[in-house]
């Protein structure tokens, strides 16, 4: 049976928390609207107690967004919960997300609390949150390094207190996929009331495993995945929304899941985030990087031009790009060059194509990518026409 996985986007909270990614109120609002267009089930809009600005922003997003749930994060302290409740109260679908650490190291050094005290704080927090809001998520921070028996205990207590979502964070990105999958399976099997709540995961990318861990969790029963656009987030980031969604979409033959994400809005969301923060996406980033649908090697170009499926497992259009990119460089072949020049309006016979190809490879030895302007100059020189800015070729660009 096909299972729909809830997508909880935390770009505006965990993502925004990372160095260099802070956004102001109007920027966050623009991004929240795009996340709604994208079809995120939940938008975590911020941490309302953190500052007056954060509170105002979460409130504004809650008043604006109507399709997605809007969540505000809070610790277990009553003042945190009351502030989060106030910030999301006008949302059509509000959620309060409260968390406390459950690993021995965090309880001992950060919280200075015993296990009993932590369970008590969690229960009281969930009860208070439920007095304001019907949808309450409880997270056990550093769950992947917590004693599983203790997790079963605290989750059972949180659900009994009224939690509607139970979240299992791999806060420090320490888990291995099969290990994290086992943890989720254990929670499913040992928390007696787990079916009364949605089981969620929240993975960080310190070992580059956040997406793999999230997918293993889904395979073992997780129903909600927390993630961010472009994978931004604390330290090495969070699980990337676009990678999780497109893995599920592309490999439906292996995983019988779906999401409510409108995949054509993925690229616009990624670009909007990059534009707002001034932080570009690494070129080889899966799905949304500049090179994700670019082909330079001759053999690849030949294959893609004949049938894109030779080297593309999803279409660029499916994630909101208009087409793939054939890059002319030193690895390109005559076939791709001919096609490219044809698209630019040049009809070349075999000899002309050979001459153009020699000029292109010579130039490509000097500069990494031969762009349209270079090709126009090469064609102009070949045809004894005035070349626009010929110095660009001579200098190698």
Q: How many residues bind ligand KIV (CB under 6 A)?
A: 9
Q: Nearest Cα to 217, choosing from 204, 232, 202, 230?
A: 202
Residue 118 Cβ, how far from ligand KIV at the closest point, in Å?
14
CA-based Rg of the chain, rounded to a whole angstrom?
25
**C-alpha–C-alpha distance, residues 218 and 12, integer Å:** 23
Interface characters, 8-47, with Zn ion (x: CB under 5 A): ------x---------------------------------
CA dihedral over 215, 216, 219, 221, signed as positive or negative:
negative
Among 54, 135, 141, 242, binds ligand KIV (CB under 6 A): 141
**C-alpha–C-alpha distance, residues 144 and 222, integer Å:** 14
Residue 112 Cβ, how far from ligand KIV at the closest point, in Å?
19
Among 8, 21, 55, 99, binds ligand KIV (CB under 6 A): 99
List phi, psi (to 5°) of 261.
Answer: -75, 135
**C-alpha–C-alpha distance, residues 355 and 353, integer Å:** 5
Q: Which is nearer to ligand KIV, 161 or 172 (CB)?
A: 172
Interface with ligand KIV, residue 139, by CB under 6 A: yes
Q: Which is nearer to ligand KIV, 93 or 204 (CB)?
A: 204
Q: Which is nearer to Zn ion, 14 or 374 (CB)?
A: 14
| Cβ burial 24-53 (10 Å sphere, 16+ → b, else e) | ebebbbebbebbbebbbbbbbbbbbbbeee
Options 63-71, 167-175, 311-319, 375-383: segment touching ligand KIV (CB under 6 A): 167-175
**C-alpha–C-alpha distance, residues 57 and 28, integer Å:** 7
Q: Which of residues 14-43 bind ligand KIV (CB under 6 A)?
A: 14
Contacted by 99, from Zn ion, ligand KIV, none: CB < 5 to 8 Å by type: ligand KIV
**Given the rule CB under 6 A, which residues bind ligand KIV?**
14, 99, 139, 141, 167, 169, 171, 202, 204
**Given the rule CB under 5 A, which residues bind Zn ion?**
14
């Amino acid at each position: 049976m096909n299972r729909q996985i809830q997508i909880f986007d935390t770009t505006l909270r965990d993502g925004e928390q990372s160095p260099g990614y802070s956004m102001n109120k109007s920027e966050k609002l623009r991004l929240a609207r795009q996340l709604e267009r994208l079809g995120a089930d939940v938008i975590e809009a911020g941490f309302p107690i953190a500052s007056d600005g954060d509170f105002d922003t979460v409130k504004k997003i809650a008043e604006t967004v109507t399709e997605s749930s809007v969540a505000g994060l809070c610790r277990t302290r009553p003042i945190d919960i009351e502030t989060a409740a106030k910030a999301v109260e006008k949302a059509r679908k509000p959620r309060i997300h409260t968390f406390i650490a459950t690993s021995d190291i965090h309880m001992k050094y950060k919280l200075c609390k015993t296990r009993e005290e932590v369970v008590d704080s969690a229960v009281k927090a969930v009860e208070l949150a439920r007095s304001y809001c019907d949808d309450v998520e409880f997270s056990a921070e550093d769950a992947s390094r917590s004693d599983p028996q203790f997790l079963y205990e605290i989750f059972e207590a949180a659900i009994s207190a009224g939690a509607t979502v139970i979240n299992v964070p791999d806060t420090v990105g320490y888990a291995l996929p099969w290990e994290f999958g086992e943890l989720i399976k254990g929670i499913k099997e040992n928390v007696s009331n787990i079916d009364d709540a949605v089981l969620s995961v929240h993975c960080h990318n310190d070992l580059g495993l956040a997406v793999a861990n999230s997918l293993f969790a889904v395979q073992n029963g997780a129903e909600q995945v927390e993630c961010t656009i472009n994978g931004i987030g604390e330290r090495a980031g969070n699980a990337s929304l676009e990678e999780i969604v497109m893995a599920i979409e592309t490999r439906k033959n292996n995983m019988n899941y779906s999401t409510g994400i409108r995949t054509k809005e993925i690229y616009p969301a990624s670009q909007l985030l990059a534009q707002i923060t001034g932080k570009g996406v690494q070129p080889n980033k899966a799905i949304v990087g500049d090179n994700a649908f670019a082909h330079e090697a001759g053999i690849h170009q030949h294959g893609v031009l004949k049938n894109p499926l030779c080297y593309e497992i999803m279409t660029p259009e499916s994630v909101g790009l208009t087409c793939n990119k054939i890059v002319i460089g030193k690895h390109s072949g005559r076939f791709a060059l001919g096609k490219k020049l044809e698209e630019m309006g040049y009809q070349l016979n075999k000899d002309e194509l050979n001459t153009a190809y020699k000029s292109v490879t010579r130039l490509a030895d000097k500069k990494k990518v031969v762009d349209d302007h270079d090709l126009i100059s090469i064609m102009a020189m070949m045809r004894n026409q005035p070349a626009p800015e010929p110095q660009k070729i001579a200098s190698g660009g």
